[in-house]
């Protein structure tokens, strides 16, 4: 039996006033791309297992500077379609569906 998955929303605000801050911003985005899809500049929707969520959190916390940056991870309810209202352009694909490349 496959591990259960749930959806999380990852949001971040990384200070880009320094070269190191811009580097952190790129690294955070790269990590998030490995777990989900970008829905806005600093917002990702991810469909993960509990182990993947732990790995995602660990990687991101080790990148950010907690004295300058902000990171928030929201676990979305199972009935996401009732909780999320989307206006404007939709993401390139639904993260709940398989992605065939």
Would you say residue 101 has pLDDT above 60?
no
45-62 pLDDT tens trace = 999 999 999 999 999 999
Measured torsion, CA atoms of residues 88, 73, 14, 45, in degrees rounded to the nearest 10: -40
Q: What is the pLDDT of residue 82?
A: 75
Q: What is the pLDDT of residue 8?
A: 94
Would you say residue 9 has pLDDT above 80?
yes
Residue appearing with tokens 């911003």: 25
CB neighbour list of residue 18: distance below 8 Å, 6 or more residues apart: none
Q: Is 44 exposed, middle or buried (0-12, 13-18, 19+ CB in 10 A)?
A: buried
6-79 belongs to which CATH class?
alpha beta
Would you say residue 100 has pLDDT above 60?
no
Would you say residue 6 has pLDDT above 80?
yes
Which residue ranges make up each domain of the chain?
6-79
19-45 pLDDT tens trace = 999 999 999 999 999 999 999 999 999
Residue 95: pLDDT band with limits 50, 70, 90? low
Full-model pTM: 0.81
């Amino acid at each position: 039996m496959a591990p259960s998955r749930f959806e999380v929303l990852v949001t971040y605000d990384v200070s880009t006033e320094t070269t190191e801050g811009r580097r952190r911003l790129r690294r955070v985005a790269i990590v998030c791309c490995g777990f989900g899809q970008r829905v806005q500049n600093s917002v990702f929707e991810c469909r993960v297992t509990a182990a993947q969520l732990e790995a995602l959190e660990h990687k991101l916390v080790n990148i950010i500077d907690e004295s300058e940056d902000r990171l928030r991870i929201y676990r979305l309810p199972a009935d996401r379609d009732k909780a999320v209202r989307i206006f404007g352009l939709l993401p390139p694909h639904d993260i709940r569906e398989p992605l065939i490349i």
